[in-house]
Amino acid sequence: MKTTSKHLVFSTFLFVVAFFCAATGFAQSSLDGTWKFDMSQSKFSPKPVVFYTSQGWFHCVSCTPSYDVQADGQDHAIPGHAFDTMSVTIVDPHTISTVAKKDGKVIGEQTDSVSADGKTLTMKGSDHPMNGSAPSTFNVGFKRAGIAPSGVHATSGQWQLIKVAGSDNGLMVTYKTEGDSLTMTAPTGESYTAKFDGADYPVKNSYGYNAVSLKRIDANTIEETDKRDGKVTDVSRITVSGKTLKIVDHDVQADRTSTLVATKK
């Protein structure tokens, strides 16, 4: 499930940031219900994100694909991503703001601020659901990896994710099994119904991915593969143990693996 609950669509627009047996056994008895992700129990990939702003241009080095956009506050075309335009504004020597749009509609906005000592970075913003429901908000913390580069905006460099917080509508998901199918729904309107046969099924109301396939691995584990426009974006292993749901998600495009933990409500 490529909602903020899985990837916390934080910004430098790492649509960083969602998944998820047969009708008997595992799915009906343990997966069904509403789950809320606990970011304090989750472990994030140590691989840093890399971006810099220099001479009026913003460069997202670790984005996949990478891109360069003029930091003039205007919308500029960005191919190959869930958004198709982005604007970047240099707010002050320690802050930049970004707005991503799809077909002219705002889908994500954020502000990146670096601390006075240059060692930590905070990303605050919101993701706007495709169906027009209430935006989900996020607050993401990073620590600097390596030496701060010179001659560039203070937010520039390599940053390692250390903490994530978000609004409830971006951290909750509901599953329901019926026959040989699983239905996922989220407060943001994202949903799918898919069989456990490895075939692709459509995803509704998601910018991050538009197709999903499911496979049963064992009595307590399933595998979800997410795609956008035919290309694999993520492969996730989802395991249920009592009232705990653990998702080991591999972001294929960015080559990052994180473990997310949720509890049943």
* For the chain, the helix, strand and coil percentages under 3-state DSSP, each to the nearest 5: 5, 55, 40
Q: Are residues 33 and 115 in the same domain?
A: no
Same domain? 102 vs 151: yes
Residue where a domain terminates, one of 140, 168, 196: 168
Question: 153 and 80 share a domain?
Answer: yes
Vertex 169 angle, CA 121 and 189, to 5°: 120
Token pair for 40:
């304090």
Quote the pLDDT of residue 12: 40
One domain, residues 95 and 178? no
Question: Would you put residue 132 in left (φ > 0), alpha (ψ -120 to 50) or beta?
Answer: left
Report d(CA 137, CA 93) in Å as an integer.
24
Domain boundary among 168, 197, 226: 168
CA separation for the pair 200, 193 (Å, rounded): 10
Strand partners, 134: none
- Tell me the average confidence (pLDDT) per consecutive run of 10 residues in the chain, 265 residues long: 39 37 46 94 95 97 95 96 96 97 96 97 96 94 95 97 94 90 94 97 96 92 95 95 95 94 95
First to last CA, the chain: 18
Could you tell me which of 264, 190, 215 has the C-alpha nearest to residue 35? 264
Do 97 and 63 share a domain, yes or no?
Answer: yes
**Whether residue 147 sits in one domain with residue 38:** no
Q: Do 161 and 183 fall within a single domain?
A: no
Pair (117, 211) in one structural domain: no
Token pair of 236, please?
């996730």
What is the value of pTM for the model shown? 0.88
Structural domain including 241 reads 4-10+18-43+173-264
Residues 179 and 206 in one domain: yes
Residue for token pair 């956009």: 69
User: Which domain CATH number covers 249?
Assistant: 2.40.128.20
Contact in structure between 152 and 182 (CB atoms under 8 Å):
no
Number of domains in the chain: 2
